Amino acid sequence: MKVTVITAFPEFFRAFFETSIVGRAVERGLLEVDVVDLRDYGEGSYSKIDDYSFGGKGGMVLMAEPLALALEGLKGDPYVVYPSPQGVPLTQETVETLFSKGDVVIVCGHYEGIDERFVSSRVDLELSIGDYVLTGGELPAMVIIDAVSRLVPGVVGKGRSVEEDSFFKGMLDTPHFTRPSSWRGQDVPDVLLSGNDGAIEDWRRREAVRRTLERRPDLLSRSGLLGYMDKNAFLMLPLSEVSSPWEIRSIARSCGFYGVSKLLIPVEDRDTRDSVRSLILREDLGALVKLFPSVARALRWVSDKEKAVPYMVGFNGFNSSGLSWLEIKREILKVSRPVIFMAGGDEKDCDVTMRPVAGDDRSRSALPVQNAISVVLDRFFGWR
Ligand code: ADE
């Protein structure tokens, strides 16, 4: 990963590139860094890099020409980032995008900002690190570089994976503790000292969920639930909802892709059940699909397997009086029960019904069940 910074204040970066994790990444050659002094490209004997803002009240703006010359002095074709309060918000996804570019240059503004003609013609991405105004782009540049460098393999220590970070699957991180186990009257939660890996994992998961719901419920829209639920998830598909056996194959594969435990299909008629069973065998879907003579039998099977009564979420494409998918997502995290998504079928079997995936427009016909299922699976089990 290569990062170049163009700045009028290169001294800001000396300690940053020599210290701690970023410093070690630079030293080990995992992160290649370069700092370009904008004043080297300034105009005249005073190396002028800024001038008064046109139509402004005396504020200074960095001029386009020194910035362009500094950029043109670089080799290759780097991706150009300009940190500014007017930018799009920096998120973990943006960090991942920047990492994927491989060669990034960050142009630090100062004073009132930089000439808009440089921004519109040379900048690929204007990025804000938050809704507040700093005196320049140097601190945001360091924030961006720090976050990107953590994704470079080998930069964060062994035994510590970025998969465990906050936001990796869209939720906040769990609390952390170190020695001593008792500090000024406050004890570390017993479970963390128990040596029981399963119980520790459960506790961490619940804490991550609790904190996310309490502090950042907005994150829920982009977080995948599997891995944070206490029990498994299932999809129930009444046979009346599908028009061809091939739909079953495709829906089963979507379930497998998103980590849904089983596709449950209630089929009352024995002959039909036999023909669906032979399709399942032929298509090697046995691990993904299970047939039942009735909805009730399927529910009993899940209850026995999960040792808890399933939470039933119905969606049928027409019911506009149901809950929004985000509210249901929150409920699922609270109830600590296995979840069955019921595509179509009888609403009275369900704990909640979900509003149609495309909104409440009754003038449109419902989305085909296969498509609606994919959207639902992605909203609940996909992340970001
Ligand atoms: N420059 C000044 N304030 C900033 C912010 N909030 N984000 C990014 N760049 C900035």
pLDDT of amino acid 361: 61
Residue 153, classed as helix, strand or coil, is coil
pLDDT of amino acid 319: 67
pLDDT of amino acid 168: 63
Q: Which of 24, 122, 150, 206 is catalytic?
A: 150
> What distance in Å separates the CA atoms of residue 203 and residue 197, rounded to the nearest whole number?
10
Q: Does 22 score more than 90 pLDDT?
A: yes
Q: Does 122 score more than 70 pLDDT?
A: yes
Distance (Å) from CA 133 to ligand 1 centroid: 5
Please indicate, yes or no, whether residues 312 and 193 belong to a single structural domain of this protein: no
> What distance in Å separates the CA atoms of residue 42 and residue 216, rounded to the nearest whole number?
45
The residue from 196, 223, 250 where one domain ends is 223
Q: For residue 289, what is the domain's CATH number?
A: 3.40.1280.10
When pLDDT is averaged across residues 97-103 and rounded to a whole number, the result is: 98
Contacts of 355 (CB under 8 A, 6+ apart): 319, 320, 321, 322, 323, 324, 325
Please indicate, yes or no, whether residues 291 and 359 belong to a single structural domain of this protein: yes
- Residue 264 maps to a domain: yes
Give residue-wise pLDDT tens across range 166-182.
666 788 999 999 999 99
Evaluate whether 313 touches 343 at the Cβ level (below 8 Å): no
- Please give the residue range of the domain that contains residue 195: 182-223
pLDDT of amino acid 365: 66
Please indicate, yes or no, whether residues 342 and 283 belong to a single structural domain of this protein: yes
Select from 61, 127, 128 the residue to mutate for testing ligand 1; criterion: most ligand atoms less than 8 Å from CB: 128
Number of domains in the chain: 3
Write down how long the chain is. Answer: 384
Please indicate, yes or no, whether residues 51 and 191 belong to a single structural domain of this protein: no
The angle formed by the CA atoms of residues 224, 289 and 287, to the nearest 5 degrees, is 85
Please indicate, yes or no, whether residues 277 and 309 belong to a single structural domain of this protein: yes
> What distance in Å separates the CA atoms of residue 262 and residue 259, rounded to the nearest whole number?
9
Tell the burial category of 144 from Cβ atoms under 10 Å away from its Cβ (0-12, 13-18, 19+): buried
Give residue-wise pLDDT tens across range 295-319.
999 999 999 999 999 999 998 877 6
With the C-alpha atoms ordered 186, 191, 197, 199, is the resulting torsion angle positive or negative? Answer: negative
Please indicate, yes or no, whether residues 324 and 287 belong to a single structural domain of this protein: yes
Lowest mean pLDDT among 43-57, 72-86, 97-111, 164-178: 164-178
284 labelled catalytic: no
- Residue 302 maps to a domain: yes
- Residue 176 maps to a domain: no
Q: Does 159 score more than 60 pLDDT?
A: no
Evaluate whether 216 touches 330 at the Cβ level (below 8 Å): no
Phi-psi region of 80 (alpha: psi -120 to 50; beta: other; left: phi over 0): beta
pLDDT of amino acid 111: 78
- Residue 167 maps to a domain: no
Lowest mean pLDDT among 112-126, 149-163, 239-253: 149-163
| Residue 69: count of CB within 10 angstroms of its CB | 14
**Model confidence band, residue 322 (pLDDT cutoffs 50, 70, 90):** confident
Counting residues of the chain whose pLDDT is more than 70, the rounded percentage is 95
Residue nearest to atom 2 of ligand 1 (CA): 134
The mean pLDDT value of the chain amounts to 92
- Residue 154 maps to a domain: no
Cα 246 to chain centroid distance, Å, stands at: 32
Distance (Å) from CA 383 to ligand 1 centroid: 27
> What distance in Å separates the CA atoms of residue 53 and residue 226, rounded to the nearest whole number?
52
> What distance in Å separates the CA atoms of residue 55 and residue 51, rounded to the nearest whole number?
12
Annotated binding site: 109, 129-134
Cβ–ligand 1 distance for 133 under 6 Å, the answer yes
The residue from 125, 149, 173 where one domain ends is 149
> What distance in Å separates the CA atoms of residue 211 and residue 200, rounded to the nearest whole number?
16
Cβ–ligand 1 distance for 129 under 6 Å, the answer yes
Give residue-wise pLDDT tens across range 188-226.
999 999 999 999 999 999 999 999 999 999 999 889 999
HSE-up of residue 360 (Cα within 13 Å, Cβ side): 9
Q: Does 116 score more than 80 pLDDT?
A: yes
202 labelled catalytic: no
85 labelled catalytic: yes
Lowest mean pLDDT among 115-129, 248-262, 268-282, 353-367: 353-367
Annotated binding site for S-adenosyl-L-methionine: 109, 129-134
Most confident of 74-88, 230-244, 361-375: 74-88
Residue 351: which of 374, 322, 376, 378 has the closest Cα? 322
Select from 84, 114, 123, 144 the residue to mutate for testing ligand 1; criterion: most ligand atoms less than 8 Å from CB: 84
- Residue 109 maps to a domain: yes
Question: And the tokens for 154?
Answer: 């080998």
Residue 380: which of 321, 318, 319, 311 has the closest Cα? 311
150 labelled catalytic: yes
> What distance in Å separates the CA atoms of residue 368 and residue 343, rounded to the nearest whole number?
11
Q: Does 85 score more than 80 pLDDT?
A: yes
Please indicate, yes or no, whether residues 134 and 190 belong to a single structural domain of this protein: no
Please indicate, yes or no, whether residues 239 and 202 belong to a single structural domain of this protein: no
Question: And the tokens for 221?
Answer: 């829209």
Global confidence as pTM: 0.84
pLDDT of amino acid 186: 98
Please indicate, yes or no, whether residues 236 and 376 belong to a single structural domain of this protein: yes
- Residue 56 maps to a domain: yes
pLDDT of amino acid 57: 78
> What distance in Å separates the CA atoms of residue 91 and residue 50, rounded to the nearest whole number?
31
Distance (Å) from CA 88 to ligand 1 centroid: 11
Please indicate, yes or no, whether residues 44 and 132 belong to a single structural domain of this protein: yes
Please indicate, yes or no, whether residues 110 and 248 belong to a single structural domain of this protein: no
- Residue 195 maps to a domain: yes
The residue from 168, 203, 223 where one domain ends is 223
Evaluate whether 162 touches 168 at the Cβ level (below 8 Å): yes
Tokens 């980590």 belong to which residue?
259
Please indicate, yes or no, whether residues 239 and 209 belong to a single structural domain of this protein: no
When pLDDT is averaged across residues 316-324 and rounded to a whole number, the result is: 78
